[in-house]
Structure 1
Amino acid sequence: MQRILLTGATGFLGSHLVKALVKQNYQIIILKRPTSKLNRLKNVLNNIISYDVDAVEISRPFKEQGKINAIIHTATCYGRANESISEILAANVIFPLKLLEIATLFNTEIFFNTDTVLYKYLNAYALAKKHFLEWGKLATKMQKIRFINIKLEHMYGPGDNDSKFTTHIIKSCFANVPELKLTLGEQTRDFIYIDDVVSAYITLLQQSEYQPEWFQEYELGSGQSISIREFVETVHKITHSHTQLNFGALPYREGEIMHSQANITALQQLGWSGLITLTEGIEKTIQQDYF
């Protein structure tokens, strides 16, 4: 049985990955904070091994659990809770770098890194993510561990955080709030449903032994891009909402990315393909979150 160590397990992506990997009969070890809420993992807590990173040395699971075959790193700090730059750096660079170093000492074979498509100078979060990627590339040059970088587009689905744009739009339209103030919505995004994200990670994990390169990078999205306006109007239509959509009420943020779309050719060559359309994904999210 393969052992997988996963960070960010109590978060949106991490929790979905844990549940899927448990079903695939992987032995799952998670690193979490003592204050992390476990509600997303309540149905699989008896099937996983948990360590509190603030209470034990980061090397402890490697010493106690035997060989860990792979690390899936999904933990992140976006800076949405007014964290300082040093806190963002600690979470997005120092912590995963320590984990990467320990993994090389204990002969872990592969490190899966969840990256962003954001331009590195857009904000502190994006810059920190790019800094860690450079350290990951350096580790592969020393041929100590294989590093797969996953550039994740705009994922969404049931149980996501209210601070996320997609959740905010769905929740607001479903609740028929009087008005949504928005930008013109001309910027395009590649929206991908959480189940398709998870299946891509599992495909990469299962195919990793057939990919001998030390560093590899994959773009993960639906492969299609639509405007923010179209996304909002689709949600508005599906929810039969009476909310007034005020496009143009807000300016674009400084450095706004106007087009983002994943090139999924490399993933498709591994046998992966997304199955959930945008309409299906929105309907599934509403059904699970509100009914």
Structure 2
Amino acid sequence: MNQEDYALEDAYDDASGTDDDAEATRRDAGEAESSRASRGWWDRNADEYQSEHGGFLGDDRFVWGPEGLDEADAALLGPADGLAGLDVLEIGAGAAQCARWLAAQGARPVALDLSHRQLQHALRIGGGIPLVEADAGALPFRDGSFDLVCSAYGAVPFVADPVKVFREVHRVLRPGGRWVFSVTHPIRWAFPDEPGPEGLSVSASYFDRTPYVEQDEQGRAVYVEHHRTLGDRVRELVAAGFRLVDLVEPEWPAWNTQEWGGWSPLRGNLIPGTAIFVSERA
């Protein structure tokens, strides 16, 4: 355990509350405001998130989203027996569950997250994964440091300038390396974020890219999420120097009976909830 790890562990008991009184709206939110809101929100809500979803995520599984698609079955990073010895960066790692799975396959993962509190949970679970607290738009690594970069709902939905993040990923990847990430499926932005029948009627334009913002009484953003269409995401990847290899839209499996926010068996059997982009560094 290094000095930074000790600092994270010492601060473990300093959690604060959630944002129950925040007002939801749609308005512009730039790079700095989005980053600040994400760091604060995840620091305040990491405990609740890990308590509510930790059982589903496990301590050392690689789950791509609420549907429960497991990397052990999907092999979107490549065959599991080919991961041994690879340098892998997980962006938006949370409690580093995915990184632990990668380590169990013989890879050398690094878990990066913007949230100090999420990384404290990574320390709590343990496993000796190297942890880095940093913004995905300014990765603190040398060029060509990694063979793979991955992110399961981490960073990408919350950044105002995804091309900047993708270019950073391109920079730290070695030639031919894969960049695989999952996000809320863009079509879900046209529907209310409700798991029941009320979430099955279109209520907004799929083409409205105005950020979703939760703000406090002073109008300061405490949570920001950015919407892009499928076409936007493909163009962003190409602009950053990637080649799209696959676009996976997981179907809802029969075994998964739980609800998670707006995700549910009812909706998952009718519309996709997650989009996974598999790309390679050109």
TM-score range, shorter chain: 0.3 to 0.5
Larger RCO: Structure 1 or Structure 2 (Cα < 8 Å, ≥ 6 residues apart)? 2
Larger Rg: 1
Q: TM-score, normalised by structure 1?
A: 0.41
Q: TM-score, normalised by structure 2?
A: 0.42
